[in-house]
């Protein structure tokens, strides 16, 4: 047990150093190590959240580096490649490693691992919310972190312009199967984080006030309207058979989480006026 604790501590030190390096390969290894550590059942929730907040700045920097790289590479792909070339690049990866064809595909896989870690951490905080006053404080810090909220927003907005991609729709409908599958899975995980938070806000609203947190304010200002608009554009599109597209499990999962998100917002009294205003538009 003592040896295990030493190994975990040394591992976290290495994770922190590698995440701060900004190198894709170092970030990949570190994220996988951290993901394994937080899923060790013998570790206490207190130890995990302590480590998370010790690594918070490094995790933020890692996520920002991934998103900035993806953003520039997406712009370059759209400017300099045709749809077939984008298809080739997106199909070029099937695992994370040093020999993957393009930085774009490596970063996309890194983003998938990064958001999985965020979801695991948020789930741990949420499941232990009632049992620890310190965990409650940590959860409030998490949802009040502007960097995390901005990254979640950027992920939902991410798309590659193709003839079938619905503009301003969070669902990826590029018709590039590997890209759509990855992006929709990543976006579904972001929405699951939102819905976990809203579940707590609904059940504990008499005991905790989340209304001034950055995440809650994002829901009010952009999140709710973005999800509503995405579903509206998706359902009215004539570019594909809606019923057939919904058979795709990643798109179906993303749509389900969108509907859960809106349902949980309806249960919060201060969103009534926002829904009314949207219906009038």
| Model pLDDT, residue 30 | 84
Average pLDDT over residues 232-253: 88
Counting residues of the chain whose pLDDT is more than 70, the rounded percentage is: 74
Counting residues of the chain whose pLDDT is more than 90, the rounded percentage is: 27
Largest CA distance in the chain: 63
Average pLDDT over residues 250-270: 88
Q: How far apart are CA 252 and CA 4, in angstroms?
A: 41
Residue 56: pLDDT above 90? Answer: no
| Model pLDDT, residue 26 | 81
The closest alpha carbon to 187, from 265, 115, 259, belongs to 115
Using one digit for the tens of pLDDT, what is the confidence trace for 124-174?
Answer: 777 766 555 555 666 777 788 899 999 999 999 999 888 889 999 999 998
The closest alpha carbon to 277, from 212, 228, 216, 215, belongs to 228
Q: Which residues contact 110 (CB under 8 A, 6 or more apart)?
A: 24, 27, 28, 31, 66, 96
Lowest mean pLDDT among 49-63, 87-101, 123-137, 216-230: 87-101
Residue 71: pLDDT above 70? Answer: yes
| Model pLDDT, residue 12 | 65
Q: How far apart are CA 71 and CA 52, in angstroms?
A: 26
Is residue 111 within 8 A of residue 67, CB to CB? The reply is: yes
Average pLDDT over residues 53-60: 82
| Model pLDDT, residue 194 | 94
Using one digit for the tens of pLDDT, what is the confidence trace for 82-106?
Answer: 555 566 556 544 333 333 345 777 8
Distance between terminal CA atoms of the chain? Answer: 61
Q: Which residues contact 55 (CB under 8 A, 6 or more apart)?
A: 12, 15, 16, 19, 34
Query: 235-267: b or e for each residue (b if 16 or more CB lie within 10 Å)?
Result: eeeeeeeeeebeebebbebbbebbebbbebbee
Domain parsing of the chain, residue ranges: 2-280
Q: Which residue has the higher pLDDT, 189 or 1?
A: 189
Residue 280: pLDDT above 80? Answer: no
Using one digit for the tens of pLDDT, what is the confidence trace for 175-188?
Answer: 888 889 999 999 99
Residue 211: pLDDT above 90? Answer: no
Tell me how crowded residue 127 is: count the other CB atoms within 10 A of its CB: 12
Residue 1's pLDDT band (boundaries 50, 70, 90)? very low
Lowest mean pLDDT among 45-49, 108-112, 197-201: 45-49
| Model pLDDT, residue 96 | 35
User: How high is the mean pLDDT of the chain?
Assistant: 78
Packing angle between helix 24-38 and helix 103-127, nearest 10 degrees?
20
3-state DSSP assignment of residue 44? coil
Phi/psi of residue 150, nearest 5 degrees:
-65, -40
């Amino acid at each position: 047990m003592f040896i295990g604790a030493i190994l975990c501590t040394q591992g976290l030190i290495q994770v922190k150093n590698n995440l701060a390096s900004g190198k894709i390969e170092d970030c990949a290894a570190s994220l996988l190590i951290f993901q394994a550590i937080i899923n060790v059942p013998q570790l206490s929730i207190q130890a995990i959240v302590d480590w998370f907040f010790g690594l918070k700045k490094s995790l933020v920097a890692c996520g920002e580096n991934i998103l900035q790289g993806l953003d520039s590479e997406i712009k370059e792909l759209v400017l300099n490649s045709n749809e077939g070339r984008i298809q080739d690049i997106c199909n070029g990866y099937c695992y994370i490693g040093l020999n993957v064809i393009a930085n774009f595909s490596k970063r996309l896989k890194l983003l998938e691992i990064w958001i999985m870690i965020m979801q695991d951490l948020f789930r741990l905080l949420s499941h232990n919310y009632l049992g620890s006053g310190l965990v409650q404080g940590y959860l409030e810090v998490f949802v009040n972190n502007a960097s995390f909220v901005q990254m979640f927003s950027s992920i939902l907005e991410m798309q590659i312009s193709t003839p079938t991609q619905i503009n301003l729709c969070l669902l990826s409908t590029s018709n590039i199967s590997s890209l759509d599958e990855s992006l929709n899975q990543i976006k579904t995980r972001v929405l699951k984080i939102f819905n976990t938070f809203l579940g707590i806000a609904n059940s504990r609203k008499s005991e905790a006030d989340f209304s001034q947190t950055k995440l809650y304010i994002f829901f009010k200002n952009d999140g709710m309207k973005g999800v509503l608009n995405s579903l509206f554009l998706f359902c009215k599109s004539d570019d594909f058979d809606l019923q057939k597209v919904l058979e795709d499990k990643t798109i179906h999962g993303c749509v389900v989480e969108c509907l859960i998100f809106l349902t949980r917002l309806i249960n919060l009294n201060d969103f009534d006026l926002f829904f009314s205003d949207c219906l009038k538009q």
